[in-house]
Amino acid sequence: MKLILASASPRRAELVRKTGCDFVIRPSDAEEVILPSATETAAANAALKALSVKAEDGCVVLGADTVVSSADDRPLGKPHSEEEAFAMLRELCGRTHVVITGIYLTDGTRSAHEEVKTRVTFAPFDENLVRAYIATGKPFDKAGGYGIQDKELKDLVVRVDGDVDNVIGLPVAAVRRLLRENFL
């Protein structure tokens, strides 16, 4: 099976490689939306991305969107400034939050979708660690202002309950299962 990845994310492309499927990258030009809840936001954006890319014969388009949920289920997107990254990370520290990735698959006729949730617990706020991480520039292309795979944050991540690939940007096991159940 051949996939069309509707994303320009290098992290997501690396995760798609783990599915074992051949794939091509065709970034979506869909305008992302922010809805009241993080789950609704992830689901809607995954669908928008997948449906904005034409499905070719014999191919399945994969759209995905990862959202970090605040304590009150508010979607935390990508920070646009150092201050915004600092505020997001401060909010997440010392608590457990949920990371949701919406996945949407379509071959132009059929579709399948799912929202996968992973709980992540951060250590208490450490201003020096957070400021040093922000100085790397890494928070600005990641939902919630962090990448769990970033070595600078290893001391902040206390626990991950669920699929770590989901937190990075694509729940590979769920994608494999949806492809098997709906497109093979």
Q: Which residues pair with 3 in a beta bridge?
A: 23, 60
Active-site residue identified among 65, 107, 163, 165 = 65
Name 36's Cβ contacts closer than 8 Å, sequence gap at least 6: none
Q: Identify each DSSP E strand in 47-130 by its residue range.
A: 59-69, 75-76, 96-106, 111-122
Q: What is the DSSP letter of 180?
A: H
Q: Is 155 among the residues known to form the active site? A: no
Q: Identify each DSSP E strand in 7-58 by its residue range.
A: 22-25
From 31, 148, 122, 135, select the one nearest 85 (Cα to Cα).
135
**Active site residue ranges:** 65
